[in-house]
Amino acid sequence: MRFRLLSALAASAAVSVVNGQASETYDYIVVGSGPGGGPLAANLAKAGYKTLLIEAGGDEGDNPTYYDMMTFNEAANDEATRWDFWVKHSDDPARELKFKYTTYDTGDGTFYVGNNPPPEAKHLGIQYPRAAVLGGCAMHNGAVCSLPQDEDWNLIVNLTGDTSWEAHKMRQYYQRIERNEYLATGNSAHGYNGWLKTAAGDTSWAKNDNLTGTKILKELAKLTGQDPAKAAELVGSDILGDYPNRDQISSFYNMVQHSGKDGKRSSPNNYIRATLADAAKYPLTLKLHTFVTKVLFTNSTGMGAAPPRAIGVEVVEGTSVYRADPKHIRGAKAPPSKQIFASKEVIIAGGAFNSPQILKVSGIGPRAELEKFGIPVVKDLPGVGERLADNYEGSILALGNAPVDLPGLITLIFRTPNAATKNRNIFTWCGAFSFEGFWPGFPNNYGPNQFTCAMVHIGPKSQAGSVRLTSADPLDTPDINFNFFKNSGDADLAEFVSAANILRDSWKAAGAPATPFKELHPCPGELGKTANCTDAAQAEFFKLQAYSHHASSTCAIGADDDKMAVLDSKFRVRGVNGLRVVDASSFPVVPGAFPVLPTMMLSEKATDDILADAKKA
């Protein structure tokens, strides 16, 4: 059952008159309430600044589909909040049609998913669902918490010279936001008073040597250089702990989620609502069902002595106005626009797809692309919408002869022998589930005997993707092409195959009654007896069937002499004043295996940078 809370939560704002019409003015306007924008807006309000937070969706914070972690797949499928981006993985149309779950519009209000569509069906592409809801994608994800490799933070230091990004300094932001509920208080690596709850599962099952899952666990320990005798202890390791040489350690861990020990999701939604609840103390205004169509500038031609300055945003109000929304009514007239002003700054936090789109329709982006659609150029920034990156993801999936007796998950971060560096390069979790990517109605349920090891490739070498306009209309969705494996693809695929081989070998230890396994992919047939399970065949499978949901880097921080850099180290958009981008698009590279926690840390750092600049003004 679905519930919808569409209440307008708002505090008072200053009102001025512009061109004969009443308009609102705030100190800061934050566009997007996800892991980047939501906490930032709350922090600015708590610092005493009159802050407006704009969210295109509604509030599902009281909906059990969203707050109960057991129903996160249902949340990601829910039309109440879902935005469908239909993306490409390459420039090759024939290759795109080979993705097993490519999706078509049948014309009768339904989707066809697969490789044999009805004759008149329109090809849409590969579904990449995003969440238009208070709290953003942190409201429909699996809530997996993982920290980036230290080098992901230190890269920003190397690019910009800003030592505030050093990895050991960035950890303070994680500690600041965390409200740890799985470790005893006093662990210096963690925080216990923040707004984000973290919880971990029970791993006591690993002490039972008779379980099928424990047999797989111990064999996997051997294959990854761990002590099988200590496997039961290792699965309880703190995945967010602060260890020497952490990024080089292949180890089992206890998976941590941004949820409470009661199984309820913890997200920016909770923090925003808690801040709004004390309106007398914290001047935060929230506008729901409000879509930003462009940023407003003074000196918008950029021809004056001073750089253009962001002074506000233009918005339309209403539900399902954006054409990524499956509830959008084709041909519907857009609501009238209105303008809202910021006396200090505008901060864009729409995510890796929408942040570059907002900049571009506002006149900030590659000159040729803007001029193609008749958009006046405010600032020529070639990097906006480029360098789109993502973790490659894939899985090996099989059916046991009987259910695999594994009451939890085997969570492992490890290095394959062919990794490009000494750092571990694969994050995997194995259990009695299936996960093969995204399509309308995902995932498949293969029954009680299903068993999967899902994999996330850490540190992908190619960042060749792009987010480009299809028109000047801000309500149109952009063209998104990840260009998977375009650069150094053979090396990334080889690492993926190496990981699959290691995981598959561990399954052989399961024993009766679970064995023999019947593998469904990437090597269909009885486990260990398929003649076509070559490295080349597996590489081809992963090339065609890899998926992703950790998009980043389309408005990346970079060096002063890099023409593709969009932001400086303080999140400021280059060449204009009063405008920042604070979300996953800001990262120069994908931050580790899961970006949600790093993006919340990013938001906390941006808070410090913005408040420091405010004190100087």
605, part of any domain: no
Query: Considering only CA atoms, which of 256, 589, 191, 577 is closest in space to residue 413?
Result: 256
Annotated binding residues for FAD, written as ranges, equal: 133, 141-144, 292
Cα–Cα dist 238/413, whole Å = 12
581, part of any domain: yes
Residue-wise pLDDT tens digits, 261-280: 999 999 999 999 999 999 99
What is 298-319 written as a DSSP string? ESTTS-SSSPPEEEEEEEEEST
Section 390-396 average pLDDT: 98
Q: What is the pLDDT of residue 10?
A: 35
Cα–Cα dist 440/74, whole Å = 11
Per the omega criterion (within 30 degrees of 0), is the bond before 335 cis? no
521, part of any domain: no
364, part of any domain: yes
Domain limits for position 290? 14-65+267-385+553-589
421, part of any domain: no
CA distances in angstroms from 257 to 138, 174, 338, 431, listed in the order given: 11, 14, 39, 16
Any idea what the CATH number is for the domain that residue 279 is in?
Answer: 3.50.50.60
Cα–Cα dist 466/518, whole Å = 38
Number of domains in the chain: 1
15 pLDDT above the threshold of 80: no
For residue 512, name the pLDDT band (cuts at 50, 70, 90): very high
Q: Give Cβ neighbours of residue 531 (< 8 Å, ≥ 6 apart).
A: none
Q: Torsion angle of alpha carbons 243, 244, 247, 250, nearest 10°?
A: -70
274, part of any domain: yes
Burial pattern 352-383, b for ≥16 Cβ within 10 A else e, equals: bbbbbbbbbbbbbbbeebbeeeebebbbbbeb
Section 291-304 average pLDDT: 85
284, part of any domain: yes
Annotated binding residues, written as ranges, equal: 133, 141-144, 292
311, part of any domain: yes
Residue-wise pLDDT tens digits, 528-585: 888 789 999 999 999 999 999 999 999 999 999 999 999 999 999 999 999 999 999 9
**What is the average pLDDT score of the chain?**
95
For residue 302, name the pLDDT band (cuts at 50, 70, 90): low
**CA 103 to chain centroid:** 21
Residue-wise pLDDT tens digits, 124-182: 999 999 999 999 999 999 999 999 999 999 999 999 999 999 999 999 999 999 999 99
Residue-wise pLDDT tens digits, 217-253: 999 999 999 999 999 999 999 999 999 999 999 999 9
Burial of 493 (0-12, 13-18, 19+ CB in 10 A): buried
